Each structure stands twice: as structure tokens, then as C-alpha cells.
């Protein structure tokens, strides 16, 4: 039994004698060579199926984990959420400044959101055609489509603000300082 004062690795691994090096040993180089020849003591017999044992397992096509596509679409969603929040706040300023019936502004904003969803779908389709099919790359996120949608929604928000008279007056006053 080895002494307990020896390090752990030396107690559990048989160490070769000091200065022993196998033939062809070079420090830092992995041994790569021809496979060892078979000896005659190991006869090789062909496989004969007998019909017993495990049934043949057919190779299943590559399956993606459940929810993979939804997780992929959620990555980058913060861009669309920020753009949507900006557009909503700007729309709210514009709608309140109109001082009238809110039916028309609500319909306008809902249509804007439908256009944003359509733009997102178009950006995903273009990404699939160009990024995956033409370039052969794998898309792991939807950040690009979310970024395109966010830029659109920020532009819509700015357009709402440009239609609000007191915001334009405030902007001109600040720009004139």
C-alpha cells in the first residue's frame, strides 16, 4: 500500500521507472501510426442475422427540440419592443393632441402594428432566402428582422411627432437656442 504522504496522482497511477521512455517517444507529439495488425488468435466471423435480439432501429431525421423556432424568434425581441414602445408613446402624444374622437387614431395605430408585423415576416423571409439558402449559413436568432422592425417603428413614431404642432414648435424653439 502506498504511503498517504504521496500526492494523489502518484498513488492512483502506476508511474514508469525514472528515465524510461517508450520507443518512438517524443515529448509534446501525439503518437500516430499504422493500426496494429490482427493476430490469428482473434478469428473474425461474418455476422449472421438470426432474427433475435434488438429490432432494427431506423435512423430518425434530425429533429429540432420543441420550441426551438419560438426561442429563435424571441432572441432580439427587445429591439421590436423598444421600437413599439417608442411608436406607442409618440402615437399617444399625437392622439391626445388631436382632441377629438380616438377611433381613427386607434385604427391608424393598429394598422401600423399590422404593417410592422408584415415587415418582420418579410425580413425573416428575405433572411431565409439570402442568409440560409444563398450563403448556406444558419440563423440562430431573429435580431436582424427585429432590428428592421424597430427602425420602422421609430420612424413611425417620429412621423407621429412631426404631425403634432406643439412638439414641432418645441423642437424649433430648442433648435433656435
Asked if residues 95 and 102 have their Cβ atoms less than 8 Å apart, the reply is yes
CA 26, CA 34: separation in Å to the nearest integer?
17
What is the separation of C-alpha 142 from the centre of its chain, rounded to a whole number of angstroms? 7
pLDDT in tens, 71-127: 777 888 899 999 999 999 999 999 988 878 888 899 999 999 999 999 999 998 998
Position 8 pLDDT exceeds 90: no
pTM score? 0.60
Using the Cα atoms of residue 99, residue 172, residue 116 and residue 77 in order, give the sign of their dihedral. Answer: negative
Q: CB-hemisphere CA count at 13 Å for 2? A: 12
C-alpha cell at 14: 502506476
Asked if residues 151 and 115 have their Cβ atoms less than 8 Å apart, the reply is no
Through-space distance between the first and last CA atoms of the chain, rounded to whole angstroms:
89
pLDDT in tens, 118-152: 999 999 899 888 887 888 888 778 888 999 999 99
pLDDT in tens, 17-75: 777 777 766 777 776 766 666 666 666 777 777 766 665 555 556 677 777 777 777 88
Kindly tell me the number of DSSP H helices and DSSP E strands found in the chain.
Answer: 6, 0
Distances (CA, A) of 111 to 26, 104, 150: 73, 11, 16
Q: Which residues of 72-108 are buried (b: 16+ CB within 10 A; e: fewer)?
A: eeeebeebbeebbebbbebbebbbeeeeeeeeebeee
Amino acid at each position: 500500500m502506498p504511503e498517504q504522504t504521496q500526492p494523489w496522482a502518484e498513488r492512483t497511477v502506476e508511474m514508469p521507472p525514472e528515465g524510461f521512455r517508450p520507443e518512438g517517444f517524443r515529448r509534446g507529439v501525439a503518437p500516430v501510426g499504422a493500426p496494429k495488425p490482427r493476430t490469428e488468435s482473434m478469428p473474425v466471423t461474418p455476422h449472421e442475422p438470426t432474427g433475435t435480439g434488438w429490432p432494427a432501429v431506423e435512423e430518425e431525421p434530425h429533429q429540432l427540440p420543441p420550441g426551438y423556432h419560438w426561442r429563435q424568434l424571441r432572441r432580439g425581441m427587445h429591439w421590436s419592443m423598444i421600437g413599439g414602445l417608442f411608436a406607442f408613446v409618440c402615437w399617444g402624444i399625437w392622439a391626445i393632441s388631436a382632441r377629438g374622437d380616438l377611433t381613427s387614431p386607434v385604427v391608424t395605430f393598429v394598422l401600423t402594428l399590422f404593417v410592422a408585423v408584415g415587415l418582420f415576416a418579410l425580413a425573416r423571409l428575405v433572411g431565409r432566402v439570402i442568409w440560409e439558402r444563398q450563403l448556406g449559413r444558419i440563423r440562430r436568432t431573429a435580431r436582424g428582422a427585429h432590428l428592421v422592425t424597430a427602425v420602422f417603428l421609430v420612424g413611425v413614431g417620429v412621423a407621429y411627432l412631426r404631425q403634432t404642432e406643439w412638439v414641432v414648435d418645441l423642437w424649433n424653439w430648442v433648435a433656435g437656442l
